Amino acid sequence: MTLRTLYIAAIISAMITVFISYQDRNLAVLHSAQIPLTVEAVSFSNTSQPKMKYGDLIWRGGLRVSSTHQRFGGLSGLEISPDGKTMLAVTDKGLWFKGRLGYDQGGDLLSLSRGLLSSLTGIEGTALTRKKDRDSESIAIAEDGAVYISFERHHRILKYPGPLETAAEAIPFPDAFINSSNNRGIEALTWLPGGCLLAIPERVDTPDPHPDRQSPEKLIQAFLWDQYSWGSIYLKPNGNLLPTGLSVTPKGDLLLLERSFSFLEGFKASLRIFPAEQVQPGKIMEGRVLANFEDQYTIDNMEGISSRLGANGETLIYLISDDNLSFTQDTLLLMFEIDEQNSKMNQKQRKPVGLRTTGCSKNKSTYSAALATIAF
């Protein structure tokens, strides 16, 4: 694709975004509206084969999803039910999205059906009428089934009793975001075993707070909520990629989805994994890269991630893209499996994520049993 073509596509996309923003001033509230879905199977690359490996990931199928419903698109945060049958997401336009997943006989991703859209609400069930109030970015489901959703522009985190529920309540917000720019809010959110919420912003660079460590590069400051107060944790940057999604694996380690974009190189994405021991207040998380994806692969603006345990004990990872409601982009749902034989993460015994003295101290088996009871 030539540079001129890329610029023309960018201009057209910007014009469409402005038009959509104009129409997006006072959208009608949706109450569990069933929507039609068009689903097309995709290959991850021109040479993609079943169970083909990419880094430490094994390809398990992918879908391109569209709908004639004008409010579909902009999917960001993602959660997949423990049995893999239900997909839950939030959109940039302040909507819940729910769908039913199907698999082939080998357990590879095959279909998405029963699409449903429903409007998110604010405190005490109030409608989110202003555009800046509706920009939901990430989602996390707690052990008790409560759903936490982060928002940009009007930065905040709301807690809902469950999926598609109303009457949300706000939780205290990290002071670092009170005066942050509109589009630099919390992009990645996940619930940690033992009762903590981990929140990572799109990027808040900070020097190493411990001079004795003398880290040569600035770090990304992230935040741990123990249901009483926020503590800091730090993340080594991955080049120019920005955090977009978080998920805890069934084995207790942490997955981070990151992506970048430029007009010359298009979208890039990377998936890092962090051992549970690194996810502690005050520590620096470095982890390692499971896979890097560039424009030769079937990717887009990858923003959401979820993981679960497969039927054979494997760790399955789901990624979703935010199409920004633009005809030049796609909504992609991709599924991978961690190649356990090659992954160095399995060579050591892991402790539960979030193990600490201020609230995140449940053991991993307790967490897994609680998580398995959550249905949505």
In the prediction, which pLDDT does 129 show? 79
Contact 299, 267 (CB under 8 A): yes
- The CATH code of the domain at 3-372 is 2.115.10
The pLDDT of residue 239 is above 70:
yes
Give, in order, the Cα–Cα distances in Å from 242 to each of 107, 149, 213, 314.
31, 19, 24, 28
Contact 223, 206 (CB under 8 A): no
Confidence of residue 110 (pLDDT cuts 50, 70, 90): very high
Which pLDDT belongs to residue 362? Answer: 43
- Is residue 20 helix, strand or coil? helix
Report which residue type is found at 241: L
The answer to whether 76 and 91 have CB atoms below 8 angstroms apart is yes
Structural domain boundaries of the chain? 3-372
Segment among 20-29, 222-231, 325-334 with least mean pLDDT: 20-29
Stretch among 257-266, 281-290, 294-303 having the lowest mean pLDDT: 294-303
pLDDT at 376 over 80: no
Number of C-beta neighbours around residue 249 at 10 A: 21
Nearest to 287 by CA among 340, 234, 251, 337: 234
What CA–CA distance (Å, rounded) separates 217 from 206?
Answer: 9
Q: Tell me the one-letter amino acid at 268.
A: K
Closest listed residue to residue 324, CA positions, set 300, 348, 342, 308: 300
Window from 175-184, 229-238, 355-364 with minimum mean pLDDT: 355-364
Distance CA 236, CA 41 (A): 35
Q: What is the pLDDT of residue 366?
A: 43
Cα–Cα distance for residue pair 108/115, rounded to 1 Å: 20
Closest to 353 in 3D by CA, of 271, 259, 242, 256: 256
What does the alpha-carbon distance between residue 88 and residue 84 come to, in Å, rounded to a whole number? 11
Q: Is 318 helix (H, G, I), strand (E, B) or coil?
A: strand
State the pLDDT confidence band at 347, using cuts at 50, 70 and 90: very low
The string of DSSP codes covering 26-66 is SPPPPSSEEE--EEEE--SSTT--TT-EETTEEEEEEEEEE
Question: Which residue type sits at 73?
Answer: G
User: Which tokens is 145 given?
Assistant: 């089934």
- What pTM did the predictor assign? 0.86
Question: Average pLDDT for residues 336-362, to the nearest whole number?
Answer: 58
**pLDDT over 70 percentage in the chain:** 77
